[in-house]
Amino acid sequence: MGRQAGMERQVTGAMDEALVVATVRERANWMRRRSIRMVFEAGQGHPGGDMSATDVLATLYFGIMRYDPRQPNDPARDRFVMSKGHCTGALYTALAAAGFFPEEELATYVQPGSRLNGHPNRTYLPGIETNTGPLGHGLPVAVGIAIAGQIDGADYRTFVLTGDGELQEGSMWEAAMLAGHRKLDKLTVVVDRNRLQQGARTEDTNALEPLSDKWRAFGWNVSEVDGHDHGALLGALGQAQGDRPRCIIANTIKGYGISYMRDQAGWHHGVPSEEQFAQALRELALSEEEA
């Protein structure tokens, strides 16, 4: 379901946009159900962040980005960097649904010999631009990718998904300052702003607000959206950049779609019990019906 032959970037009118939103919603619902199964069966993972990040990933892969899974290294492809690299449950389901590798391989998640590591590895799987996991590394690499495109006069866009707790890393702001200085107008950062990190709330650990003002001060165009509203995400991600990099603060909910995980720091990582797994599948199926 990814961008296929020719890799034309998605351009939609009003009627087409409704179809794209429906497609993105369908993919996001499937990704949530599949990723929670992966965590349950593997006995490890980061399901809370997977659930908050899923709608952003589904919108990027099935509504915005230009790529061809049959040619994962095509120079014209858009680049995506998963800076919050611990949320591989969400990333791998997006890549599998987009056709980068068979969906059946998701059953090997974090098993011995599997290509599906707990953190993404570009030498293992097509569609992964750089290894991430240690927080604070993804945006700096993405800035380098965007600078290379700027020097080459290339048309590709570079997208980054970062966690909000990750913004407490100094390397993120060094990279943001350089991107603003270089006016990297084909670089877009999406902040998964679920306001929770491992063990606590971001504002209790090292306050980020006023977050929008901070990005603007570093020379970025900034917008805030509901990170679970596919139409709003499509609009923000498809918006013209101007002459600056763009930061989209996606206000999300950790554990979105699963009641006992919702807004709970304890589900930064963790594994549902058999009863909790069954409940999660019921609730996710119900949310799909309501959509």
Residue 9 has pLDDT above 60, yes or no: no
Would you give the distance in Å from CA 142 to the centre of its chain?
14
- 8 in a structural domain: no
| 3-state SS string for the chain | CCCCCCCCCCCCCHHHHHHHHHHHHHHHHHHHHHHHHHHHHHCCCCHHHHHHHHHHHHHHHHHHCCCCCCCCCCCCCCEEEECCCCCHHHHHHHHHHHCCCCHHHHHHCCCCCCCCCCCCCCCCCCCCCCCCCCCCCHHHHHHHHHHHHHHHCCCCCEEEEEECHHHHCHHHHHHHHHHHHHCCCCEEEEEEECCEECCEEHHHHCCCCCHHHHHHHCCCEEEEEECCCHHHHHHHHHCCCCCCCEEEEEECCCCCCCCCCCCCHHHCCCCCCHHHHHHHHHHHHHHHHHC
What are the tens digits of pLDDT across the range 14-64? 558 899 999 999 999 999 999 999 999 999 999 999 999 999 999 999 999
The predicted pLDDT at position 244 comes to 97
Our count of domains for the chain comes to 1
- 143 in a structural domain: yes
- 7 in a structural domain: no
- 248 in a structural domain: yes
Cα angle at 166 between 269 and 95, to 5 degrees? Answer: 65
Q: Output the domain CATH number for residue 151.
A: 3.40.50.970
**Domain range holding 62?**
15-290
Residue 10 has pLDDT above 60, yes or no: no
Going by DSSP bridges, is the β-strand pair 246-251/79-82 parallel, antiparallel, or unpaired?
unpaired
CB atoms within 10 A of CB 19: 10
What are the tens digits of pLDDT across the range 51-83? 999 999 999 999 999 999 999 999 999 999 999
% of the chain at pLDDT higher than 70:
94
The predicted pLDDT at position 16 comes to 87
Residue 6 has pLDDT above 50, yes or no: no
The predicted pLDDT at position 14 comes to 53
Going by DSSP bridges, is the β-strand pair 200-201/79-82 parallel, antiparallel, or unpaired?
unpaired
CA distance 36 to 280: 8
Q: Which residue has the higher pLDDT, 1 or 101?
A: 101
Give the chain's mean pLDDT: 94
- 9 in a structural domain: no
% of the chain at pLDDT higher than 90:
90
CA distance 249 to 70: 32
The predicted pLDDT at position 286 comes to 84
- 21 in a structural domain: yes
Per-residue pLDDT, averaged over 90-96, amounts to 98
What are the tens digits of pLDDT across the range 229-257? 999 999 999 988 889 999 999 999 999 99
What are the tens digits of pLDDT across the range 192-234? 999 999 989 999 999 999 999 999 999 999 999 999 999 999 9
The predicted pLDDT at position 7 comes to 53
The predicted pLDDT at position 240 comes to 82
